[in-house]
Amino acid sequence: MNKEELLKAYQEKFGEKGQDIFFSPGRINVIGEHTDYNGGHVFPAAISLGIYGVYGPRKDNKITLYSGNVHGPVVEFDLDDETVEKDDRFWANYFKGMLTYLRQRKDGAKINHGFNLYVKANLPSGSGLSSSAAIEMLMGIILKEEFDLDIDRIALAKLGQKTENEFVGLNSGIMDQFACIMGKKDSAIFLDCNTMEYEYKPLKLGDYEIIIMSTNKQHTLASSAYNDRVAECHGALEKLQTKLKIKALGELDDHTFDEYSYLINDETELKRARHAVSENGRTLRATKAMEDNDLAKLGRLINASHISLHYDYEVTGKELDTLAETAWKQPGVLGARMIGGGFGGSAIAIVKKDQADAFKKNVGKVYRDRIGYDASFYDAEIVDGTKKI
Ligand code: ADP
Ligand code: MG
């Protein structure tokens, strides 16, 4: 997608010239799944698949949005319209939430006129690559820069999370927004979601590359199942807190968890908490393995993450399992696992570069035979977070 095409599309839609172009990346997550809202660690990276936005100011107080991917009508609402759209999948909610929360801040009155926004993505929507956070952070950075708002990137990430939680109804953690807006070229972000301390770590994969595999499965019931997982972990935490002084499951190591797990007298909650704790431990060990150039160990931990998401967290499903399990059997593969919320969406595999073509062909064939439709494969670069281009 080049700038000329984007400006042309804006002009066709709104009948005048667009002013500025922004890009907001999607993300992958090397390891650390469903750990963010449990106060654990994550290890995501922003990717070159993302969402472009062309901005143009208006003299009135109307916001007009058009998505070149949705192919619906232009969505229009007033600057001070804070209503949450009823359909929680309605895409304008992601923009409206950010606008609402930024206008409620101290310098929010600086947002004093409307605008047109044309968006177009090369990032598939609803595929576990975080198109929703990409939109929120796109909106956040556009408003910050166009209206000169005094807000830092991490605060924008938190407003994106609030938008998911309150405008969309998904009780998600901070990982997606943080990865989109804080991304750094060729690095993954090692983030402690309990303290918000973070460190960039170069993604040193040598002769290997990360291949993104999308199941192309619509995850329709994903948000209610996601919220169930959040509630189950909370239930386990409350039981542990009767004996332990902790604020989050992410504070526990495997040994302490084992010792006190007798307190969790609910089988489901026990499994969910066991994943949250073991996944956090794997994430700590995986980042160390990457630093030590022990890619084989990194791969084993990635595989173990998928297994835990399958058995303990129960968020994989046959599409994601088919991708991961088939990937494990291919030559030149160090590891593979589902990423994102689960129940569809995407997986990643770390594959030897010179085996990548055969990998896609083989996994693609098995997937089609078993599932009945195609998976998609993407090679993405690791890029900087949301910015004006
Ligand atoms: P993910 O974040 O994993 O892609 P979500 O279900 O969280 O999946 O977010 C997907 C939603 O984001 C879509 O249902 C749609 O409302 C919105 N969305 C994503 N991409 C676009 C786009 N290009 N244009 C408009 N809305 C989009
Ligand atoms: Mg999302």
The predicted complex's ipTM stands at 0.99
Q: Which residue has the tokens 């078993």?
A: 370
Evaluate whether the domain defined by 3-202 bears CATH number 3.30.230.10.
yes
Question: 35 a known binding residue?
Answer: yes
Ligand 2 centre distance from Cα of residue 340 (Å): 8
pLDDT in tens, 334-388: 999 999 999 999 999 999 999 999 999 999 999 999 999 999 999 889 999 999 9
pLDDT in tens, 25-35: 999 999 999 99
What is the number of the ligand closest to the CA of 88? Answer: 1
pLDDT in tens, 154-195: 999 999 999 999 988 899 999 999 999 999 999 999 999 999
List of residues 6+ apart from 246 with CB closer than 8 A = 237, 240, 252
Out of 91, 122, 175, mutate this one to test ligand 1's pocket (max ligand atoms within 8 Å of CB): namely: 91
pLDDT in tens, 110-156: 999 999 999 999 999 989 999 999 999 999 999 999 999 999 999 99
At residue 88 the predicted structure's pLDDT band, cuts being 50, 70 and 90, is: low
Give SS3 for 352: strand
For ligand 1, is residue 361 a contact (CB within 6 Å)?
Answer: no
Measured from the Cα of 133, ligand 1's closest atom is 2
pLDDT in tens, 217-265: 976 656 889 999 999 999 999 999 999 999 999 999 999 999 999 999 9
What is the number of the ligand closest to the CA of 135? Answer: 1
Beta carbons of 169 and 310 less than 8 angstroms apart: no
Task: Give residue limits of the domains in the chain.
Answer: 3-202
List of residues 6+ apart from 145 with CB closer than 8 A = 20, 22, 388
Q: Which residue has the tokens 């090692």?
A: 190
Q: In what order do the strands lie in the sheet with 198-202?
A: 41-42, 187-192, 198-202
Percent of the chain residues past pLDDT 70, beyond the cut? 98
